Structure 1
Amino acid sequence: MNDVQFAFVDEYGNYGFDFEKNDVSTHFIIVAILVKGSNKEILEEKVEYIRQKYFQAGEMKSSKIRNNHKRRSLILNELKGLPFHIFAYVIDKRKINENAGIRFKKSFFKFLNRQLYDDLFKTFDQLELVADEYGNKEFMEEFKAYVKRKSIPDLFNFSSFGFNNSKSNILIQLADLLAGTIAKGYDKNQLSDEYQTFYKILEKHIIRLEYWPKDYRNFLVDTSKSENKTPYDEVILKQAVNLAYQYIDKSSNIEDIDEKDRVDFLKFLLLKTYQNPNEYIYTHEILDNLNAIRNQKINIHYFRSNIVSKLRDNGLLIASSNKGYKLPTCIEDLYDFVNLTSLNIHPMIQRITKCRDQILLATNNEIDILDKAEYEDIKRIVELSKGLV
C-alpha cells in the first residue's frame, strides 16, 4: 500500500467584492500543505520547534508577524528543506466579471471546492485532508459537504476529510503562515516588495500555484522595462498560454496517468512563466517538481517522449534550448526551439542521404530505400537538401 498523503489546508481572504472596504480582500488564497505519512511526525516536531522559537506560547500565525519581513524571512529559512510541499490557489476577485454567476457566494465556494477536490482527491489514492475547525471556516464547511457528495468510498479509495483545532495542529498553523505569506505577493492590503524574497525561499516547496481567472494577460510584463520587444511577442505569449489552458481544461476529467503528467507539466510551466517569463527551466528541476508527489518516478526518456513530444504533437507551444524548457513569450524563444531542433534534424537527414546514396551506388540505382509511399516526405526533404528539387 502506498504511503498515505496528508494535506493540511487553510485560507487567506474572504468572500466579498466591495474592494473599497479595508476588510474585503482583493484575493482569496487557499494553501494545502502536503506531507507523506512517513514524514508527518518529523515535520510536526521540526515545525513545533520553530513555533516555540519564534512564537513562544502562541500559535504560529501569519497575522502575528504582520510586516516584520526580517522575522518572516528567518522563519521561512528555517522551514526551507523540511519534508513538505505546497499546493496553492490564488483567485483575483477583482478580475471576476461583475455579471458572472461565480460572484454569488454559493457559486464562488462551489467553484473553489471543485478546484481543490479535483487537484487533491483525484491525485492521491490515500489522502487525509485536515482543515481548521475554528475561525472563518465557511469555505471549509462548504468543502466538507462537497466532498461527501462527490466521494464514493470503495475498496481502493481510503481518503478522508476532517477538522482539527489549529491550536493543537501545528501543520494547520503552517498552512496559515504560508497562506498569509503568499498574500504578500497579491492582496492589496498585504502587498510587499519582500514577496520575491519569500518566494525564492519557498520555491522548491511549491508544487502548484494556480492563478484564476485564467487570462494570458496575467503573464504580461511591463514592456517599458523590457528591451528588444517586438509587436508579435504578446501574440506569441497569448497563443502559448491559451493553448496550455485549453489543453488543461480538455484533459481535466481524463483518468489516464500519462495525460495527468502532461497537465501537471503544463501547470508547472504556467507557474514558472508567471514568476519569470524569460527564464528556462532545467529538466532536472521539472522532474523534481513532477516527482515530488509520485511513488513511481518519471525518468528523462519518459518525460521527453510521453510528455513534451506528445504535447507538441497536439500543437502546444513549448520552447526549448540547452537551458531547458519554457512557454514561449517572445519570438526569440521560438528561434531557440528551431535552432535546437535543427541540430538533430540536419545530421539525421545527412545520415539517411548517405545510406541511400551507398545503396544506389551498390545496386546501380536499382534500389532506392526512399521509394516507398510512406517515405515520400523524407525523399522530398533529402532531394531538397541536395538541390534536386
Structure 2
Amino acid sequence: MQNQIAYLSEWGNSELDFKKQGQVESISTHFIVTALLVNKSDLPEIIPILEAVRTRYFGGASIGSEAVGNDHEKRKQILEDLDEIGFKIIAIIVDKRQLVGQGLHFKGSLFKFLHGLTDRELYSIYPDLEMSISLPMDESFMKGFIGYVQQNHISNLFNQSDFGFAAIQETLMVQTASFIAETLARCYDETVITDQRGDFIEILKSKVLSVKFWPDTFEHTLANKPEPGPSYDPLLAELSIKLANGFFNRKSSDRAQQAIDQISCLGYLLFHFKHINPTRYITSFELIEHVRARRGKNVSLHYFQTKVIAPLRDAGVLIASSSRGYKLPASHQDLYDFIGHSNTIIEPMLSRVKKFRDQIVMATDGKLDVLAADEFKLIRKVVL
C-alpha cells in the first residue's frame, strides 16, 4: 500500500493576453504547481513543527506569503525552518508566454495542458500516489485536476491512487505547499521576481525531488550565467545539456527501477547545473540521498556507481567526476578532471593485471597466458 501523500497547491493565473500587461493587475508570466511529498507515518511529527512555524511567523494565522510579502529575510528564515521538516518538493513551472500560438488561448484548454503536465510528472514516478488539496471553491486549476485524476487513475486492485481533501490539521501542509509555490514564483515570474531568488533556491535545493520546466530551455535563470573563460565554455555546457535532455526523451517513459533512478540522478544534476551553479560538483552522498528519497529505499554506493552513473555514461551522457563528486561538464577542466580521476583508477589496475599475468607466465614457463583469450585482447594490447 502506498505510504506517500502529496499536498498540492498552485500559483499564477490563466490570463494569456500579455498585451494587457499594465492594464490588468497581476498577469503572471508563469503558472506553478507545487506538490509536497511526505510519508503518512511522518505526519504526527511534521504537523506540530508547522504549528510552531505558524505561531512564530504568522501569529497563529495561515501560513501564507501575504504576511511575508517582500520581506525576503523573513522568507529565508521561514524556509530555513521548513528545511528541517521531512518533506520533498515536486514542482511544475510553466512559462505562459511560450504558450501563445499553441492553441491554448482559453482557460479550459490551458488548464487541460497543465493537468497533463502535472499528472505525468507525479504519476510517472509514483503511480499509486495519494494526493490531497484544500477544498476548491471555484473553477480553479485544482478543481479541474481532481476530475482529470479521477478520470485517468481509477482505483482498482492494481492502482490504489486516491485524491482527497486535506483534513483540518493537514491544511497546514497545503498552506506550506502554497508558500513554496509563491516562493518559486519569486524566483521565476517576472511580476514578482527578486534578486534574492538564488538564496531561496539554495535553501530549498535539498528538498527538491524534481522541478519540471516548460519549455525546458537552456537558460541560467537563477545563477548568474558565467562569463566564457577557463571555468565555463558555453558550447560545452550546451552539449552537456543537449545530451542529458536526449537521455530524458528516450527514457522518461521507462518504468524499470534502474531507469527511474538514472532519470532521478540526472534530473538533480541538471537542476543544479542550470539553476544553481554550473561549476559545482555534487557529492556521491548527495546524489545517493536524492535517489533514495525519490524511490523510498536506500541504495548502495556500488549500485549508484554501476547501475546509475555507469549506464548514463554508456548512453552518451557527459558526466564529469573528481574527488569532489559528479557534475555535467562545463569547462575543459571538468573534462580533464574526469580523465585524470579515471586514470588514477585505470593505470594502477592495469599495472596489477600485468604483474598478475607476468607471474603466471613465468611460473608456467609460458604455457599459460591469462590474457590470451579473445575477450581480453584490448587489455593485452594495452599492457603488453
Shared fold, TM over 0.5: yes
List gaps (5 residues or longer) in structure 2. none
SS of the residue corresponding to residue 45 of structure 1 reads: helix
SS of the residue corresponding to residue 92 of structure 2 reads: strand
Return closer, same or farther for 1:111/1:245 CA change in 2, 3 Å cut-off: farther
Aligned equivalents of 1:350, 1:57: Cα separation in 2: 68
Deviates more, 1:68-77 or 1:175-184: 68-77
Deviates more, 1:359-368 or 1:288-297: 359-368
Question: 1:365-376, aligned counterparts within 5 Å?
Answer: 365-376=366-377
SS of the residue corresponding to residue 23 of structure 1 reads: coil
Aligned equivalents of 2:112, 2:280: Cα separation in 1: 35
Map of 2:6 onto structure 1:
7
Aligned equivalents of 1:300, 1:263: Cα separation in 2: 17
Return closer, same or farther for 1:338/1:111 CA change in 2, 3 Å cut-off: farther
Deviates more, 1:120-129 or 1:20-29: 120-129
> 2:99 aligned with 1:100, yes or no?
no
Aligned equivalents of 1:185, 1:136: Cα separation in 2: 27
Check conservation: 1:216, 1:237, Cα contact below 8 A.
Answer: no
**Per-residue deviation at 1:339?**
0.6
Check conservation: 1:166, 1:173, Cα contact below 8 A.
Answer: no
Q: Which whole-Å deviations, capped at 9, do the CAs of 1:107-161 have from their partners, x for residues lacking one?
A: 5433332332233234336432112333665322232222122213222322211
Return closer, same or farther for 1:125/1:221 CA change in 2, 3 Å cut-off: closer
Aligned counterpart for 2:37 among listed residues 27, 31, 34: 34
Aligned counterpart for 2:202 among listed residues 197, 200, 203: 200
Map of 1:294 onto structure 2:
295
Map of 2:257 onto structure 1:
257
Aligned equivalents of 1:365, 1:18: Cα separation in 2: 82
Check conservation: 1:7, 1:32, Cα contact below 8 A.
Answer: yes
> 2:189 aligned with 1:172, yes or no?
no
Check conservation: 1:223, 1:229, Cα contact below 8 A.
Answer: no
Aligned counterpart for 1:115 among listed residues 114, 117, 130: 117
Aligned equivalents of 1:18, 1:133: Cα separation in 2: 29
**Per-residue deviation at 1:254?**
1.8
2:131 partner amino acid: L
TM-score with structure 1 setting the length: 0.88
Map of 2:48 onto structure 1:
45
Aligned residues: CA RMSD: 2.6
SS of the residue corresponding to residue 192 of structure 1 reads: coil
Return closer, same or farther for 1:226/1:236 CA change in 2, 3 Å cut-off: closer
**Per-residue deviation at 1:203?**
2.6
**Per-residue deviation at 1:355?**
2.3
Check conservation: 1:29, 1:89, Cα contact below 8 A.
Answer: yes
**Per-residue deviation at 1:98?**
4.0
Deviates more, 1:370-379 or 1:169-178: 370-379
**Per-residue deviation at 1:263?**
0.7
Map of 1:248 onto structure 2:
248
SS of the residue corresponding to residue 184 of structure 1 reads: helix
2:267 partner amino acid: K
2:235 partner amino acid: V
Aligned equivalents of 1:222, 1:312: Cα separation in 2: 28
SS of the residue corresponding to residue 207 of structure 1 reads: strand
Q: Which whole-Å deviations, capped at 9, do the CAs of 1:246-293 have from their partners, x for residues lacking one?
A: 222222222211111111111111111121111000111112222124
Deviates more, 1:277-286 or 1:141-150: 141-150
Deviates more, 1:318-327 or 1:157-166: 157-166
Aligned equivalents of 1:245, 1:350: Cα separation in 2: 38
Aligned equivalents of 1:219, 1:373: Cα separation in 2: 52
**Per-residue deviation at 1:209?**
2.2
Return closer, same or farther for 1:234/1:353 CA change in 2, 3 Å cut-off: same
Map of 1:142 onto structure 2:
144
Aligned equivalents of 1:66, 1:112: Cα separation in 2: 26
**Per-residue deviation at 1:366?**
4.0
Aligned equivalents of 1:358, 1:57: Cα separation in 2: 77
Aligned equivalents of 2:75, 2:110: Cα separation in 1: 31
Map of 1:337 onto structure 2:
338
Question: 1:150-229, aligned counterparts within 5 Å?
Answer: 150-164=152-166, 169-218=171-220, 225=227, 227-228=229-230
Map of 1:18 onto structure 2:
17
Aligned counterpart for 1:63 among listed residues 56, 62, 66: 66
> 2:92 aligned with 1:73, yes or no?
no
Map of 2:94 onto structure 1:
91
SS of the residue corresponding to residue 188 of structure 2 reads: coil
Map of 2:239 onto structure 1:
239
Return closer, same or farther for 1:50/1:285 CA change in 2, 3 Å cut-off: same
Aligned equivalents of 1:40, 1:130: Cα separation in 2: 13
**Per-residue deviation at 1:90?**
1.8
Return closer, same or farther for 1:72/1:216 CA change in 2, 3 Å cut-off: closer
Aligned equivalents of 2:296, 2:207: Cα separation in 1: 17
SS of the residue corresponding to residue 7 of structure 1 reads: strand
Map of 1:387 onto structure 2:
none
TM-score with structure 2 setting the length: 0.89
Identity of aligned residues (%): 33
Return closer, same or farther for 1:269/1:379 CA change in 2, 3 Å cut-off: same
Aligned equivalents of 1:277, 1:125: Cα separation in 2: 32
**Per-residue deviation at 1:60?**
1.8
**Per-residue deviation at 1:326?**
0.8
